Amino acid sequence: MAKDFPTRAESYAQWYNDLVIKADLAENSAVRGSMVIKPYGYAIWEKMQAALDKMFKDTGHVNAYFPLFIPKSFFSKEASHVEGFAKECAVVTHYRLKNSPDGKGVVVDEDAKLEEELIVRPTSETIIWDTYKRWVQSYRDLPLLINQWANVVRWEMRTRLFLRTSEFLWQEGHTAHATKKEAVAETETILDVYSDFAEKWMALPVLKGTKSPNERFAGAVETYCIEALMQDGKALQAGTSHFLGQNFAKAFDVKFLSKENKLEYVWATSWGVSTRLIGALIMSHSDDNGLVLPPMLAPIQVVIIPIYRKGEQLEEISEVALKVKKGLEAKGISVKFDDRDTYKPGWKFSEYEFKGVPVRLAIGPRDLENGTIEVARRDTLEKEILQIADIENKIENLLIQIQDNLYKKALAFREDNTYSVDTWDEFKDVIENKGGFVLAHWDGTSETEEKIKEETKATIRTIPLNAKNEDGKCVYSGKSSNRRVVFAKAY
RNA sequence: CGGGGUGUGGCGCAGUCCGGUUAGCGUGCUUGACUGGGGGUCAAGAGGUCGGGAGUUCGAAUCUCCCCACUCCGACCA
C-alpha cells in the first residue's frame, strides 16, 4: 500500500489528483489551469499518438499543420460556432513589451496594439475552412482528408489535470467532401477508429452514439461520440466526430464545380481526441495502490529488479536479467532493467507498482540457484515463481492476458453500473445514490433535457447507435418515446 | 463573477487567536556505517526575504491597512 495515498472510497477526486502527481504523469504549472506533462505521462501520450496516427493514415488521412493564431473576424462567420466558444477564448491584443517606466520589470507597449486581435485557437475549423476555400475548386480536389496534431486553448473556469486544462494537446481532423453521404460515412469511419482505439488499446469499453442537440458541437449538424464510464459512476466523453453539413462551407464560401458542372457547397466533418484520454485511462483501471496501465499503452511493459547484497552478486544477476531483457525486446516488449544501486528493492517495487508497470520481474540469489524468476502482475497484484526457461513466451502471453483482463473488468463494471429505469423516482434515486449509466425514455425535447439537468445534474450522454426501437414514456414528461437514451452525470 | 480557504526550508504542515530567547515538525536532500526477497535503522549535516508593501510597537510569522498569488465550492466545458 502506498504511503499517504487516499483510497478511491475516501475521496475519488483527491485520489485522482494525487495519483497523477505521485505517478509522475503531470503537475500544475505556474500558469493557472495549465499543466506540465512530465516524461512518464508524455510517454503514454506518445504511445496513444503513434497508434492513432497509424489508424488515421490507414484510413486515408494525412497530417498537416495550421496556425495557432486565428483572426478574430473568422470566428464570427459561423454563428453558432462563435457562440459556443466566445466565452473561453484567449485573445492576443499586443505584440511587444517595453521596460516599465518605474524600472521594475516590463509592461505591455500600448503603441504595439494589433489592428485586429488574434484568438489563440480553441479549435481550428475557422482557420482551416478559410484555407480550404483556396484549395477547393473542383470535385477533383475532393475529398480533403487532413488531420493535425496540435495544442489548443480553452479558458476554462475550473480545471483538472488531464481532464480539463486551459491548454491541451489533441488531434483534430478536418475533412471536406463532395457529397453529404460521403461526409456522413467519414464521420462514422472515425467514430469506429476511436472506439476501436479505446477498446483495443486503452482496454476501455465505450458506447457509440450521437449527442442530443443540447450537447452538440458548436456548428455541427450531428455530433457522434464515444462515451465511457469511470469508476466513480460518472461518464466521460472520450472522443467526438462531427458531421458539419455545409455550415462551414457556407460561412467561408467554399464551393466546387461538380461533375455535372454545378456549383455546390462542400460537405464537412471534424473530429478529435485529446490528452483527456490519459485521464480516462487513469480513472478506468487504476486502484488504491496507484496507476494501472494496459500493456499496450504502458511506456514500460516489464521491469526487472535485481535483489542482491554484494557487487559480484549483481554481476551474476545482471547477466541473467540482461538475457531475459534481450529475449523480451526481441518480441517487441519494452523492458527496463533497474539496476540502480541508489534505491532498495522494496522501494523499487512500490515505485513501479504505483506507476502501473504491468509486469514486474525480480531476480535474486535464490533464483540463480533454482533457475527461477519472480513474476508479479500489476492488475491482480498476484506473484508467482516461474522457471526461467521459456520466460519470454510466458511474459508475452501474460501481457496479452492482462490487457484482456483489464478490458473485461472495465466492461463488467460498466454492465454492473448500467440501469434501465422507467419512473422519475427511480431515475432520481439511481442518479443520486448509485451513479452510472441510466437508460431511460426521453421525449426528444431540449426543454425536458434541461429540466432533468437542473433537477439532477444528469445529462444525456448519448443516443446509442445500437439502441433498439422500444415504445415507452418519457421518464420526466410522460410523453411517448420510441427508444431509450443514456443519462449520466458527466465530467 | 458569487461565496469560503490558504500563502512559513524542495514538498506537506504546526506556530498567528493571546506579539517576547536561536521559527519548529514530518518528508525529501547530503555524508557515513550497518543493511538489502515489499517504501530499512542509526548518526552527523545542508537548507528560511515567514507572499509583497506600508503602519503600530522597545520588539512583528503573530496586531492594523492595502495589494498579489494560489486553491476549494457554484455557473461554463473535450
pLDDT of residue A104: 66
Q: Is A458 left (phi over 0), alpha (psi -120 to 50) or beta?
A: beta
Tell me the ipTM for this assembly.
Answer: 0.87
Q: Residues A187, A188, A194, A195: what is their CA dihedral angle, to the nearest 10 degrees?
A: 160
Angle between helices A39-58 and A180-196 (to 10 degrees): 140
Q: Which sign, positive or negative, has the C-alpha torsion A33, A68, A85, A162?
A: negative
Q: How far is the CA of A103 from the C1' of B25 (A)?
A: 41
pLDDT of residue A449: 92
pLDDT of residue A266: 98
A21-30, A58-67, A364-373, A465-474, range with the lowest pLDDT: A21-30
- What's chain A's average pLDDT? 93
Question: Which nucleotides of chain B have an atom under 7 angstroms from any protein CB?
Answer: 1, 35-40, 69-78
Q: Is the CB of A308 under 7 A from strand B?
A: yes
Nearest nucleotide from residue A374 CA, by C1' atom: B37
pLDDT of residue A1: 42
Q: Is the CB of A165 under 7 A from strand B?
A: yes
Q: How large is the greatest C-alpha to C-alpha distance in chain A, in angstroms?
A: 83
User: pLDDT band at residue A74, thresholds of 50, 70 and 90?
Assistant: very high
Report residues 362-401 of A contacting strand B, contact meaning Cβ closer than 7 Å.
362-367, 374, 376, 381, 383
Rounded to whole angstroms, the Cα distance separating A385 from A389 reads 12
Rounded to whole angstroms, the Cα distance separating A404 from A199 reads 10
Residue A35 backbone dihedrals phi, psi, to 5 degrees: -110, 155
Residue A62, judged by CB atoms within 10 A of its CB (0-12, 13-18, 19+), counts as exposed
Q: Is the CB of A351 under 7 A from strand B?
A: yes
Average pLDDT over residues A422-430: 93
β partners of residue A361? A304, A375
User: pLDDT band at residue A103, thresholds of 50, 70 and 90?
Assistant: low
Average pLDDT over residues A11-24: 88
Domain residue ranges in chain A: 12-68+135-285, 295-401, 418-488
Nearest nucleotide from residue A378 CA, by C1' atom: B38
Q: Which CATH code fits A12-68+135-285?
A: 3.30.930.10
Report the amino acid identity of residue A200. K
Q: Would A12-68+135-285 and A295-401 be classified into the same CATH topology? A: no
Rounded to whole angstroms, the Cα distance separating A328 from A302 reads 9
Rounded to whole angstroms, the Cα distance separating A94 from A116 reads 10
Please answer whether residues A263 and A253 qualify as being in contact, where contact means their C-beta atoms are separated by less than 8 angstroms: no
User: pLDDT band at residue A23, thresholds of 50, 70 and 90?
Assistant: very high
pLDDT of residue A82: 86
Q: DSSP states of A106-149 as a string?
A: EEE-GGGEEEEEEEEPSS-HHHHHHHHHHH-SBGGG--EEEEEE
Q: Is the CB of A341 under 7 A from strand B?
A: yes
Average pLDDT over residues A438-443: 95
| SS3 assignment, position A388 | coil
Nearest nucleotide from residue A360 CA, by C1' atom: B38
User: pLDDT band at residue A2, thresholds of 50, 70 and 90?
Assistant: low
Q: Is the CB of A168 under 7 A from strand B?
A: yes
Q: How far is the CA of A25 from the C1' of B76 (A)?
A: 27
Q: How far is the CA of A49 from the C1' of B6 (A)?
A: 39
β partners of residue A236? A228
CATH architecture of A295-401: 3-Layer(aba) Sandwich (3.40)
Alpha helices in A300-355 (DSSP H): 311-329, 345-354
Average pLDDT over residues A317-345: 96
Q: Which CATH code fits A418-488?
A: 3.30.110.30
Rounded to whole angstroms, the Cα distance separating A452 from A290 reads 35
Q: Is the CB of A83 under 7 A from strand B?
A: no
Q: How far is the CA of A485 from the C1' of B7 (A)?
A: 48
Report the amino acid identity of residue A226. I
Q: Is the CB of A88 under 7 A from strand B?
A: yes
